[in-house]
Structures are given as structure tokens and as C-alpha cells.
Structure 1
């Protein structure tokens, strides 16, 4: 009995130590990638040069540090937005880019460029967020009017809906000679991030925290209107709050760095397969994996054709497509 008790106690102690070490391991991975992001680039910036070279310190403060902060904020926020909309729609194959939200934000951004060409970034974010809100609301109304015979119906409907909005945006941009401007705004690229040009992402990070606090309500709202009302929630109000959070964060990311493809789709699915569908418990891991994947893809894009930068929209697009196909095959295979 004593031996068994000692064995059980030692096994429990090892399990507790392993659980306590996991957060440290997660933090170590993020810190390691941030350090690599700070030091990797066309211009070599090392610890010695930071101490002795004023130009290296200027590059570090103006470019490298803002870029790394933007990568973490945009990656974590994009992944969490994907998790939130998947709970609201009760479908694992939707995210802002597969439900028309990103295309609607682009349409709002185009409207801002046409009518308020000299507007500051904050106003452009507000206009893009308004377009994203309207587009997302239209998609959800459209979704409720279509019978769901397959889990692939919502993303297919969203892609078609977003394609219509994107085509209208491209047509108007072409007529007013704004195609190049729209392309630069909508392509995810962190090489343009400099001090003074990424601070809107802090707004996105703050709004994302509000989404984390409301995670339980989003989970209940996604279970159906009757269940939500039975538990004392107003499903329409919760849905409106969710749409607003997703729209504001999407608008801030699109205006600052362009939206990152597939990130909000694959990260929540990978975490759900690993830790289950409890949104509040999984959101810290979703944010962690979103930041890790964004940092890793950006570092790879800086190294593969060094000293030139490959936009993260390309590297994340390839990786995300491969992981998405794997998820589809695992689900329907």
C-alpha cells in the first residue's frame, strides 16, 4: 500500500510539473521566434551592433521592433477572430475571409479612398470596419435563408458572396485607377510596418480581449436561439456584439498590414482537434499558435530569398492551403 501510494504521488507530481512547464514552454517558443524576428532581415542587426552602432539601433526601433509587435498582434487577433466566427456560425470551415468579411472591409476601404482620400488611418479603419460589419451581417442573413445540407455549405456560400463583393470592388477600383492601391492594401505584407504605421493593431488587440471575455456567450449563441434564450441570453444582441468585434479587428488588420489568409481557419481547427471546443479554455492556445505561425512564416519569407522579403500572404497561403486540405481529408476521409 505504501509503495502504491508513493508511486501514485510521484506520478501526480510529475503530471503537475509537466502542466506547470507547458506555459513556460509556450512562452519560450514565442520569445525565441520574436528574437529571431528582431535579428533577421536585409540589414544585419546583432547584439554587438545594437550597443555600438546608432544606425543599427535606429533600424531596430523604427522597423524591427514594430514589425515583430505587429506580427504577434495580427497573428493572435486573426486566429481568435476565426475561432469566434466559427462558434457564432457553428461551423469549423468559416473565417472572416470565407464569409465575405474581408472583401467587405476592402469595399469599405475603397469607399474611403474615393470619398475621403486624405483621411487618417483611424478613419480608414472605421470605414473598413463599417463595411466589414455590413457584409458580415448580410452573409449571416443569407446563411439563415439557405438550408444547410452539408458543413461545406456555409464556406462555399461565403466564398461566393465574398467573390461578388470582391468583383464589384475590383471593377470600381479599375474604373477609378485604384487597382494598385487596393492591391497594396489587401495583400498581407509586414515589410511596410514601421514605427507610427502599425499602432492600430493595438486597437485590434484590445477589441480581441473583449472577445475573450465574451467567449462563453458566443459559445452559447452558437448552440441555437432557443438554447441561448433558455439560458438568459439575447442571441441577437450577442450576435451583434460578435459581428462588431470581428468587423473592427478585421478593419484594423486590413488597413495596417492586409489580412492574413487561412490563419483564422486553420488555427482554431488545429487547437480544437487538440484541446476540444471549449472556447474560453482554447482561446489562449489559439492566440499562441496564431502568433507562432505568423512569426514563423514571416521569418521564412525573409530568409528564403534573402535579402529580399517574400510577403507573408504567400508563405501563409501555401502553408494554410496544405493544412486546410489535410483537415478536409481527415474530416471526410
Structure 2
């Protein structure tokens, strides 16, 4: 009975979030500096409206959905690997390391192809994530709050090093843009790399049971026949590829991987097979809402979506620390 009720509840949330993503996507297509909406395709059809929709607004909306969904799932995977619910790629140095990789590309070869930038950023992101996990292994007694503190320190060190390097090569402004996610420049032909992140999200769904096992610890995973180190390496690679693709396309987007998984866990628990689809849809919802707020608060101008996410994430993090730190450990 309880299992049936849980499945019905999960299905209801799945349908509700999917409908919410669709509704927010329609709103996103109708919001912008230009006074154009979808009805104009039928009432006032012309090439300018069609071009604006399919070259600018549709790619931007699709990029928002893909980025939000994949980052939320990446945060969930990182939480399972770290065995802590208070971690997120933007807090653990992964996003800062990816931005450092893009900086290396700008210094070495400014005209480097997008896919090569993605590869370099992925390697740097993986290095930052592995460094974080390696430091955790050397902390014998760690509380729920020590883990994010370690991540924030590592992220700060990487960010400081990147800033110093950027100043040396007069790329400080470019580095700030890579560290502050913004979708205003997304056009057709400039977002397709995010389909890689979408594919990784699907792969994470297929491997959900195994990632659930590693969240129970190395000894437990080994006892049930799971290759713990191989799966950790795969998880690091998946998270790094997602973060790198988003940073290369739009810049770093904070706290999506912290907010969404913790909210969804209150519905599904810790089982990834049930949680990942809801986490992906929840991430898309959060990203669409943040981008819409960024566009309408000072319309017709806009602020980076990362600013809205940073404010929301800090508030959620403070609530977790003040009201429920024991249950989040």
C-alpha cells in the first residue's frame, strides 16, 4: 500500500512538474525586449518574427531547460559521491575549475573550437572535483557542515588563482562572465553543446541504482559487488562534463544542484531511480523561473540569471543550516 501510494505520488509530481516546465517555456518564449509573442506568428506573420523566435528565443528557452535539468542531476550525483546533501558543483570547486579551463583556452588559443574548449574545461572540472573528494577522504571525522566548508575553501582557492591569472593576461572581465551565468547571448548554433549534458542526464537515470549504492559507502558497495572506484570515476566524469558544457555555453550557475535535489528528496527519499526524473524537471523549472525574473525585474534590460540563483541558493542554504542541519547530514 505504501509502495503504491509512493508511486502514485511520484507520478503525480512528475506530471505536474512536466506541465509546469511546458507552461514556463511558453512564457519564456513570449518574454523579451522585443514586443513579440507566439500569437504574432499567426496574426502578424513575417520573417522578422519567425527569425526572432527560432534564432533567439527558442534556443534560449531550450538551453535553459537543458542546463537546469542537467545541473540539478549533477548536483544529486555529487551529493551521493560525497555522501552529503549540502554539496553542489558550484560550491565544491567544479564550476570554478571549469572556468579556469576556459581561461586556459583563451590564453593559449583564443580561436579554439567550442568542442576543444569543452574538453579542456571538462578535464579541469574533473581535476577540481577529484581534489575535493581526495581531501574529504583524508578527513577522518567529518560533520555535515565540514564537507561544504572544505568545498568552499577549495573553490575560493581556485577562483583566486584564476583571477590572478586573468589579470596577468587582461582577461579579468571575461573570467567574470564565465563565473556568472547569463543566457542573453544564446542563439541558434551556440547552445547545441548542452545536448551532451542532456545525454549525461539520461545515462545517470540508467545508472541510478548503482549510484544509490555508492551513496551508502565504499564498504557496502564492495560487499554487494559494485566497483566503487570505477563508479566514482564515472560519476566525476559525468558531473564534470555537465558543468563544463554549461560553463562554456552560458557561464557558471550556482546552487541548482543544492536546491532541487534537497527539495525532491522530501518526496522520493534517497532512491535515485525515483528521484532523478523529478530532479531534472525541478532543475528546469528553477532555471526557467530564475531567467524570467532576471528578464522582467528591470525590463527591458536584464540581469544575469546567476544572480537570482545565488540569492535563492543562499537563502535555502541558511534555512538548512538554521532549521534542519541534522536531517540533512
Classify the TM-score, shorter chain. Answer: over 0.9
Q: Structure 2: how far apart are the matches of 1:146 and 1:319?
A: 30
* Superposition deviation, residue 147 in structure 1: 2.4
Correspondence 1:66 to 2:59: yes
1:151 matched to 2:167: no
| Structure 2: gaps of 5 or more residues | none
Name the CA distance, whole Å, in 2 between partners of 1:92 and 1:170.
29
Match for 1:202 among 181, 192, 195? 195
Distance 1:148 1:31, change over 3 A: same
Alignment pair present for 1:85 and 2:78: yes
1:47 alignment counterpart: 38
CA change 1:18–1:321 in 2 (3 A) is: closer
Instruction: Tell me whether 1:33 sits opposite 2:44 in the alignment.
Output: no
Tell me if the contact between 1:84 and 1:215 (Cα under 8 Å) persists in the aligned partners.
no
Aligned with 1:143: secondary structure? helix
Distance 1:258 1:18 in 2: 35
Q: 1:54 Cα shift?
A: 1.7
Residue 162 of structure 1 is matched in structure 2 by: 155
- Cα deviation 1:208-237 (Å, max 9, x = unaligned): 211221121112112122111111111110
Picking from 247, 250, 267, the partner of 2:243 is 250
> Alignment partner for residue 104 of structure 1, among 93, 97, 100?
97
Q: Which moved more, 1:192-201 or 1:96-105?
A: 96-105
Distance across 1 between alignment mates of 2:83 and 2:9: 33
Q: Is 1:124 paired with 2:142?
A: no
Structure 1: unaligned runs, 5 residues or longer? 1-13
Aligned to 2:78, what secondary structure does the other structure show?
helix
1:296 to 2:298 alignment: no
> Normalized against structure 1, the TM-score is what?
0.92
Shift of 1:275: 2.3
Q: What is the aligned residue count?
A: 321
Question: How has the CA–CA distance of structure 1 residues 227 and 117 changed in structure 2, closer, same or farther, with 3 Å as cutoff?
Answer: same
| Distance change (3 Å), C-alpha of 1:235 and 1:18 | closer
Instruction: Give the TM-score taking structure 2 as reference length.
Output: 0.93
- Bigger radius of gyration: 1
Q: Is the 8 A contact 1:88 1:219 kept in 2?
A: no
Q: Could you tell me how far apart the structure 1 residues matched to 2:308 and 2:242 are?
A: 22
Which residue of the other structure, out of 146, 152, 164, is the alignment partner of 1:171?
164
- CA distance in 1: counterparts of 2:6 and 2:80, whole angstroms: 31
Aligned residue runs from structure 1 range 241-280, under 5 A: 241-280=234-273
Q: Structure 1's 93 and 36: CA in aligned 2 closer, same or farther, altered over 3 A?
A: same
Over 3 Å counting, the alpha-carbon distance change for 1:46 and 1:128 in structure 2 is same
CA contact (8 A) 2:105 2:112 kept: yes
Per residue, is there more helix in 1 or in 2?
A: 1
Is structure 2 residue 129 aligned with structure 1 residue 136? yes
Alignment partner, residue 8 of structure 1:
none
Cα deviation for residue 16 of structure 1 reads 9.5
* 2:295–2:301 contact (8 Å) kept in structure 1: yes
CA drift of 1:319 comes to 1.5
Measured after TM superposition, the shift of residue 281 of structure 1 is 0.6
Whole-angstrom CA distance in 1 between matches of 2:114 and 2:31: 28
Cα displacement (A) at 1:148: 3.0
Contact 1:107 1:131 in 2 (8 A): yes
Equivalent pair of 2:98/2:122 in contact (CA under 8 Å) = yes
CA deviations over 1:27-56 (Å, ceiling 9, x no partner): 221111000000011102223422323211
CA contact 1:104–1:131 (8 Å) conserved in 2: yes
Residues 58-106 of structure 1: CA deviation (Å, up to 9, x unaligned): 1001110000000000000010000001011110011111211111111
Is the 1:45–1:56 Cα contact (8 Å) retained in structure 2? yes
Contact between 1:132 and 1:250, CA under 8 Å: does it hold in 2? yes
| Distance in 1 between residues matched to 2:10 and 2:128, nearest whole Å | 42
User: Would the alpha carbon gap of residues 17 and 95 (structure 1) be closer, same or farther in structure 2, given more than 3 Å must change?
Assistant: closer
